[in-house]
Amino acid sequence: MEKHELHGVVVRDIDRPPPEQISAFEQHDIAKVADGMGRYGVMRPEIKPIVPGMRVLGPAVTVLTRPGDALYVAHAADVAERGDVIVVDGGGFSNVAVIGERIAYYMQVKRGVAGIVVDGAVRDLRGLRELGFATFCSGVTPLIFGSQGPGAINVPISCGGVPVNPGDIVFGDDDGVVVVPRLDAERVAALADAHLAGELERVAQVDAGMSLTEVQNLGPRLDAWNHG
């Protein structure tokens, strides 16, 4: 049978960051984390939450699937642990869905999955919204091909143009989704803290009466463009 070397691979045991490394990101939005990553690790902008205000944060359980096929997406619910984020490489095809309300219900209510990020489409939008299941995707359509495969679980994938490995920290909010490599989480969290502290300091300076030009030291850069 012709297939990719990863098709059929299901890895059940993965390394996850310690809980304190994940919770270190809770005070942030993804913009600060992206700053800490040097503006890397951000998925394509069309991958957004289905409801404004949704957030998701947790270790990645990765899924490789044929566009429009839900077989390995559904099975990933039984592989994932409570608090995990299921990240699906659906090939970026937003004209076919890989998950709907019923699978999402099982993930959320029965398995405690924190949410799902799909490089592709979902369906049953009303039901997903009523569930409040954190869902990030690039499209919505009722069309789905079924559950036939092929696919794989907990293998390296690409989602939204970003490499994602099992156990990486996935963080989504209204701005989109950022992926922090598992082994780099502590350093990135510290940098996000520093960016937040800097922003709060600048807000305090503005509140104290300083101009934004002064606070951000824009004068030298503006002078470089001054025609006299």
Q: Which long-range contacts (CB under 8 A, 24 or more apart) does 3-7 make?
A: 3/150, 4/150, 6/64, 6/152, 6/155, 7/64, 7/149, 7/150, 7/151, 7/152
In percent, how much of the chain has pLDDT > 90?
A: 81
Q: For residue 7, which phi and psi values (nearest 5 degrees)?
A: -60, 130
pLDDT in tens, 97-146: 999 999 999 999 999 999 999 999 999 999 999 999 999 999 999 999 88
* Structure confidence by residue, pLDDT tens digits, 59-88: 999 999 999 999 999 999 999 999 999 999
Domain ranges of the chain: 19-190
- Euclidean distance between CA atoms 156 and 5, whole angstroms: 12
Residue-level length of the chain: 228
**Residue 228 pLDDT > 70, yes or no?**
no
User: How remote is the C-alpha of 106 from its chain's centroid?
Assistant: 20
Residue 224 C-alpha from the chain's centroid: 39
Arch. (CATH architecture) of 19-190: 3-Layer(bba) Sandwich (3.50)
Separation between Cα atoms, residue 70 and residue 65, nearest integer Å = 7
How far apart are alpha carbons 101 and 95 in whole angstroms? 17
pTM score, two decimals? 0.92
Query: CB under 8 Å to 95, separation ≥6 — which residues?
Result: 121, 139, 141, 143
